[in-house]
Structure formats: C-alpha cells, structure tokens
Amino acid sequence: MPRGRLMQTARAKRAATKSQVPTPTGPPVPVWIWAAVAAALLFAFYNAHEARVTSATIQQTRDALEKQIQMQQATARELAVARREALILTDAKSLKIAMPAGNKDLSVLHATWNSELGLVVSGQKLQMPSRNRTLQLWLIPKASGAKPLPSSTLRPTADGNFDLLVANPPDSPGATKALAITDEPEGGSPQPTTTPIWMGAVAIK
C-alpha cells in the first residue's frame, strides 16, 4: 500500500478514535439548587403582589379618610350656618322684615337682619326657578339714584324651602331702604334683569 495511503488511513483511525471519546461534562446541578431558585422567584412574585395589594389598600384608606374629612367639614359648616341663623333669628336686636310677593298666589318671605351677625331670608312652598336660573337678593339703598346692591343667590330646595344666610351684607340696615329678590341667570347678575318677585321695606325703629 502506498505510503500516502497509509498515512490517510492512520489519520482516519485517529479521528474515529477521538470522536468516540466522550466529551467531558460538568457535574449535574443538584435538585436543591433548582428548588432554591424556584422558591426565590416565587417569593419575589409574592412580594411584588403583596406590594401592589398594600399600595392599593393604602390608597383606599387615604380616599376613605379624605372623604370622611370632607363630610366632617361639610357637617361643621352646616352646623356653623345653623347656629348663626339661630342667633340672628332669636336676637332681640334683629330687625324683622316681611317680604310679600307681587303675585298674591306666592308665599311671603321673611327676612331677619342683625347688624352684627348678618341677614337671613327664608320662606316655604316656593316655586323652583326654571333651569339655569336662580333667585338673587338685592339691597336697595336709601341714597337717591343709588343702584341696587347685588347679594347672594340661592335656589329653593326640591320641596320649596328657601333659607338664605348672608353673613356679610353689602350694606347696613340703616343705609338700606328695601330688600328685593329677583329671578336671575345662574350665578347671579351685577344688576337686576327682571322685576322683583318679592320686596320688603327696611323700617328702622
């Protein structure tokens, strides 16, 4: 057999023998390591879930507390208004003002004015103004040629009750000739746009 042929045969045998030698591999990963990795991942997912739940719970608690605070503040304001109205209505120094309507079919309003505590106008069984309209109180000055002074606005309740507190009227009882209420656009007007529905003279004794 030629020499070259022999060398090729020898190389082929060596290559075949080398391919039969198993490739060395590392030792298998212990099962407990895989279990530890799985536990760590599970713990991480659990922590992330708990963090989301805790965050949502905290936010819900904050919202509930904020709502409770707002309700308490609203209640406190209502109590303060009721207390002030009671003081105005019961004070012997308060001025009583009847405000009849131009239409005899409408109820009479009653105003009580205390120079220190403010003015209360109340009535019952009032007709609700049309949509986007409101009732507005005006103070008619005694000064000749003076324009009516705009005051607060209020719509009656669903059952027709009207209870308006003006803590700081734009003028004093002594400088006011009359009180009037008109029907105005929602939000009020700087000057009356309709004829007064109710009007009452302010008579200082």
Residue by residue, DSSP assigns 59-128 as HHHHHHHHHHHHHHHHHHHHHHHHHHHHHHHH-TTPEEEEE-BSSTTSPPEEEEEETTTEEEEEESSPPP
In contact, 97 and 112? CB cutoff 8 Å: yes
pLDDT of residue 19: 52
Q: Check residue 185 and give its pLDDT.
A: 96
Per the structure, the count of domains in the chain is 2
CATH of the domain at 169: 2.60.40
Note whether residue 191 is domain-resident: yes
Whether residue 134 sits in one domain with residue 41: no
Domain end, chosen from 46, 61, 90, is at 90
Do 45 and 83 lie in one domain? The reply is yes
Specify whether 73 is located in the same domain as 117: no
From the number of C-beta atoms within 10 Å of its C-beta (0-12, 13-18, 19+), residue 149 rates as middle
Same domain, 63 and 108: no
Question: Would residue 29 count as lying in a domain?
Answer: no
Residue 53 belongs to a domain: yes
- The predicted pLDDT at position 189 comes to 96
User: What's the rounded Cα separation, in Å, for the pair 159 and 144?
Assistant: 39
Q: Which domain holds residue 110?
A: 95-201
Residue 178, helix vs strand vs coil: strand
The answer to whether residues 99 and 113 belong to one domain is yes
Q: Is residue 174 part of a domain?
A: yes
**Environment class of 182 (CB within 10 Å of its CB; exposed 0-12, middle 13-18, buried 19+):** buried
Q: What is the pLDDT of residue 89?
A: 94
Residue 28 falls within a domain, yes or no?
Answer: no
For residue 155, the model assigns a pLDDT of 96
pLDDT, residue 66, reads 85
Residues 121 and 167 in one domain: yes
Which two three-digit tokens encode residue 105?
A: 């079919």
Residues 103 and 69 in one domain: no
What's the confidence (pLDDT) of residue 13? 60
Residues of the chain scoring pLDDT < 70 = 1-27, 29, 205
Please indicate, yes or no, whether residues 149 and 71 belong to a single structural domain of this protein: no
* Domain co-membership, 54 together with 149: no
In a domain, 114, yes or no: yes
